[in-house]
Amino acid sequence: MSLLDPATLREAGAALAVESRRFSEYGWMRGTSGNLSVVVNRDPLLLAVTASGVEKSELTEHDVVLIDETGRAADPADPRPPSAEAGLHSHIAARTGAGAVFHVHALDAVVAGHRWPEGVEFRDMEMLKGLGHRAHGTTIRIPVIPNHQDMRVEGECFDAEYLPATDLVPEVPAVIIANHGIHAWGADVAAARRHLEIAEWLLRFAVAIR
């Protein structure tokens, strides 16, 4: 018995292919780098994630792999391995309730994480509205967590930043992975894209002026 209607998986793949081409044109997903996912079932948690080793500018509706809440391949009939970061995608979706999680290698995000390893703070910026915060009177911080090859460890690092969110540093839908890239998420594909683009703009601004 199939875990998921094939048409649902193809629909998810088509949506992620559009986003992959968009981010490739931005220069954020060069070659096979980066990975995108969308939740296709909440209970049990299942995500469609872009397949590993595929040129992201050439992704099609068929180039996605189904993963479970641990980030492991959920369809035994599919021999393709999921992305190496799949476990963090599923962790973020479970932790935040996100419907889509995007990971890209935007250069300014990596530079910002290198310059400010304790996180990158912003205040009194109009673009903060796009991350769900007021433009004035609120300080937000895009956290930086270490890059680790074990996604269970990466998930623990994520929780260390997001579980103790405070009024001073409210939760933002983005996190920088040191010397690696940035993850952003949202309720759906459109929200994840918006949060990623706005977070990258803010980080580009920070790198440019500081």
Between CA 67 and CA 87 the distance in angstroms is 9
Q: How far apart are CA 105 and CA 8, in angstroms?
A: 28
Question: What does the block give as tokens for 3?
Answer: 């875990």
Q: Report the largest interatomic distance among the alpha carbons of the chain, rounded to a whole angstrom.
A: 56
The amino acid at residue 25 is: E
82-98 pLDDT per residue, tens: 888 899 999 999 999 99
Q: What single DSSP character describes residue 152?
A: H
Mean pLDDT of 133-138: 89
* DSSP symbol at 132: T
pLDDT at 84: 80
pTM of the entire predicted model: 0.92
E strand intervals along 6-124:
35-41, 46-50, 64-67, 100-104, 120-123
User: For 22-73, what is each residue's pLDDT tens digit?
Assistant: 999 999 999 889 999 999 999 999 999 999 888 999 999 999 999 999 998 8
Closest CA relative to residue 199, chosen from 89, 103, 96: 103
CA pair distance 198, 120, nearest whole angstrom: 14
